Structure 1
């Protein structure tokens, strides 16, 4: 019997949970874990009313607890999650299981109490993360709705211009005495609308960080100097452009054309915020290990609710037809794709400041090498043009044939390989779309080059990143002509690729 009591006492003290034995009102026994959980020494805990371990909310149920203790048959009376109180007055969540036992000394309640603070904290964190994820999903859906609506609006406008002016061209050309000048003027309107569509797609790709970029070390100060005249023309004579460079800046690794696009977009926003004139200040500096570009205007500024949504796509406070709402969204996409950060501060009546932080690169930019465009005419070289869009394939073939090239055309990879297998002469260059049904351009190129090792490759695409690029950058050795392209763009790219 003595051995059994020692064993019971050892088991009681070794239990991982707090154990309290209660005679209905007072604590008659507590183990070591109870000391740790409640912060009371066992010597002080024994003899205390059980209510010293309860929060005010739990004390309200005193009568109900007493009834359960007096009337419940021996055995478990259930498990609950509630709050308890430590000696220092702090509360914490516990899971308590109570069992009624009959002893020679009378009825007792044995409570096994587990501190579930970590479990509750984990569950609360999961609930918080779930709520945040749902909120972010709602925001994304709202942004996608804005994006789709904005695209549909702008492209419908452009298509309206293109379709109607194209009809004018056809009508004039089919008339008995066509007015050549009128045909040329109408065709020019079609070209302008097409270029607007091109600009919009580039902005969308930059915003979505899906545009293929060609990064290189860029001297930010020197590049800003080069585009100052463009920025002044963008701003107009009523706005003064001030540039304050920090000399000796390290280079940044980025696509120079995207930096130009970023500056022009910020200049356009600043111009619209200063209709009566003002100052636009561009300054550069070094912040820790990053190059800082800051663009500040003295315009009317933004209210907090507008500032909060400034980088959202198609969000604009301008009137209908005065802007797409993609300018700042494009800036955000460009900076993020370059591995940087962008932030904005603004106060109504005091102006707006946009701060861009870009990772610093080398200490100096390489010397510029002037590239003079050479002749683009062909010399009878054979080109295999692969494009699944019939109209675009016909246009490309017409341009290249007119420039002196011999053109083989295919609408897909399988047909191109079959055409190449049946061709007796050399195929000097494969000009292929990237994303095509049945076979991607990359697979076609790999198979064709195995069969004809001397064939060079030029890809065409408006959205080539998923197939050709790593981290948004062209893979080494890949030549890409971005759609939409002009005749000059196509001829220059073909000639450059053929000439190596």
Structure 2
């Protein structure tokens, strides 16, 4: 059979892909690359039924390809990814693009076939490296989280002492005489600084996923709509806020206060990235069994090495005094503690996109409904206070004694059990730190209530992981006072626990 010059010149001998001309059933022309790819000499391959090159996967679509060859107009009939068979029986993945042509000799299918073995290997290697990098980053962040949680625990103890002793100074100065007003004012500055420190420890604990969360069913669209005014104030007048909600968004189960904190932190970052103005877009959507919350800004963006470390606590590219480096670390902790994940894409000059994926579905959760104003005074009840930090133990004892309680103090679990064994009367409440050397507060409580089943338990901690259930919620029946606490916080929690 003679071929037209146009068709013959179209079959480039040096083409990187295999080219086969098929009359519907048989191979009538191939190029050099086809010989090499399939392992057949041209003289033997030409004239063969195309089936010799097909695997089971290829045969599965054979009838559809025949129909297209017969019924389709001239032109491309598409590209498929499948597998092909060599002469020795080995198989390889390939990508096949087929075009129908009409010649004076009849209709033919021209198949351009590319071996994609190396491409798939490269993609698999890229995915493997990506997974390793993700695992490495997760391990690094987990280690940093453990460190941050430990720091927050110790810092919370110190803040508890600072805040309460400053409050003692204020109360005594105000009670003594007006000329001590300056001392009270100075102590107020100490309290303000302590409260800023408290905010810092909460951010650390959020990153470390050690913060106690209070999850509830949440409509993200409704929550974001309620926060728009707050976010606009955070962004400032030069930055426009655009909200694009998905009307069919499923509910999620999360702590709405933490989602608010997450959005405010991202708004602060966006504001700092757009000093000359711009826009921040929040959109929601569904992705399989998850809810997507996406925040995009048109700011100056981040380089790849900055993106890689963006979730690390205290990592910041801002100048001294302009940021703590905890904003994105807090976002990471909130998202992961809610059972989700968070990712960042960013390019210098093109802005940043933060995507948070949360599990869809609203769990039925018990709600604690406060019943009016809680009294704070004691009626002579006996409290066993266990705290390994001496100054904080003294502070708690002083507050509780002054409120009308009888207080027994211990510096650890072993001493507490010994004092309880030698105490003749009732012990109405065990107030125990959670993390202590030698014996955790939970173990102490478990052992104490065996011999004193009438004793109620109230834990106090800034690092409550040992008494937390999954996703940071409290174990059933556990009451927790979060550090650092004020005198009123302590008295309300103790009275509530005694009256429960």
Q: Which interval holds the TM-score relative to the shorter structure?
A: 0.5 to 0.7
Q: 1:132 to 1:217 in 2, by over 3 A?
A: closer
Please show how residues 308-327 of structure 1 align to structure 2 within 5 Å.
308-327=308-327
Alignment partners' CA distance in 1, 2:446 and 2:244: 50
Unaligned 5+ residue runs, structure 2? 1-38, 41-85, 91-120
In the alignment, is the contact (CA less than 8 A) between 2:339 and 2:471 conserved in 1? no
Shift of 1:234: 2.9
Alignment partners' CA distance in 2, 1:258 and 1:424: 45
Aligned length: 370
1:411-452 residue CA offsets vs partner (Å, 9 max, x unmatched):
222332233333343322111111222322112212221222
Q: 1:479 to 1:377 in 2, by over 3 A?
A: same
Per the alignment, residue 115 of structure 2 pairs with none
Per the alignment, residue 447 of structure 1 pairs with 447
Q: Choose 232-241 or 452-461, whichever is displaced more.
A: 232-241
Please show how residues 320-469 of structure 1 align to structure 2 within 5 Å.
320-362=320-362, 372-469=372-469
1:295 aligns with 2:284: no
1:207 aligns with 2:196: no
Q: 1:397 to 1:137 in 2, by over 3 A?
A: same
Per the alignment, residue 55 of structure 2 pairs with none
Alignment partners' CA distance in 1, 2:298 and 2:142: 32
1:361-403 residue CA offsets vs partner (Å, 9 max, x unmatched):
1399999967654333333332221111111111112222233
Per the alignment, residue 492 of structure 1 pairs with 492
Shift of 1:263: 1.4
- Secondary structure at the aligned position of 2:212 is classed as coil
In the alignment, is the contact (CA less than 8 A) between 2:142 and 2:208 conserved in 1? no
Shift of 1:206: 2.1
Shift of 1:358: 0.5
Alignment partners' CA distance in 2, 1:142 and 1:433: 24
Shift of 1:331: 0.9
Shift of 1:141: 10
Please show how residues 27-176 of structure 1 align to structure 2 within 5 Å.
136=136, 140=140
In the alignment, is the contact (CA less than 8 A) between 2:216 and 2:362 conserved in 1? no
Q: 1:400 to 1:233 in 2, by over 3 A?
A: farther
In the alignment, is the contact (CA less than 8 A) between 1:289 and 1:359 conserved in 2? yes
1:21-74 residue CA offsets vs partner (Å, 9 max, x unmatched):
xxxxxxxxxxxxxxxxxx99xxxxxxxxxxxxxxxxxxxxxxxxxxxxxxxxxx
Q: 1:470 to 1:363 in 2, by over 3 A?
A: closer
Per the alignment, residue 187 of structure 1 pairs with 187
In the alignment, is the contact (CA less than 8 A) between 2:251 and 2:360 conserved in 1? yes
In the alignment, is the contact (CA less than 8 A) between 2:434 and 2:466 conserved in 1? no
Scaled by the length of structure 2, the TM-score of the pair is 0.63
- Secondary structure at the aligned position of 1:279 is classed as strand
Per the alignment, residue 259 of structure 1 pairs with 259
1:81-116 residue CA offsets vs partner (Å, 9 max, x unmatched):
xxxxx998x9xxxxxxxxxxxxxxxxxxxxxxxxxx
Scaled by the length of structure 1, the TM-score of the pair is 0.63
Alignment partners' CA distance in 2, 1:344 and 1:138: 14
Shift of 1:459: 0.5
In the alignment, is the contact (CA less than 8 A) between 2:433 and 2:459 conserved in 1? yes
Shift of 1:271: 1.7
- Secondary structure at the aligned position of 1:474 is classed as coil
Alignment partners' CA distance in 1, 2:444 and 2:429: 13
Q: 1:492 to 1:330 in 2, by over 3 A?
A: same
Q: 1:227 to 1:295 in 2, by over 3 A?
A: same
Shift of 1:180: 2.4
In the alignment, is the contact (CA less than 8 A) between 2:313 and 2:329 conserved in 1? yes
Larger Rg: 1
- Secondary structure at the aligned position of 2:258 is classed as helix
Alignment partners' CA distance in 1, 2:221 and 2:462: 31
Q: 1:372 to 1:295 in 2, by over 3 A?
A: farther
Per the alignment, residue 66 of structure 1 pairs with none
Greater length-normalized contact order (CA 8 Å, ≥ 6 residues apart): 2
Alignment partners' CA distance in 2, 1:379 and 1:456: 16
- Secondary structure at the aligned position of 1:342 is classed as strand
1:473 aligns with 2:473: yes
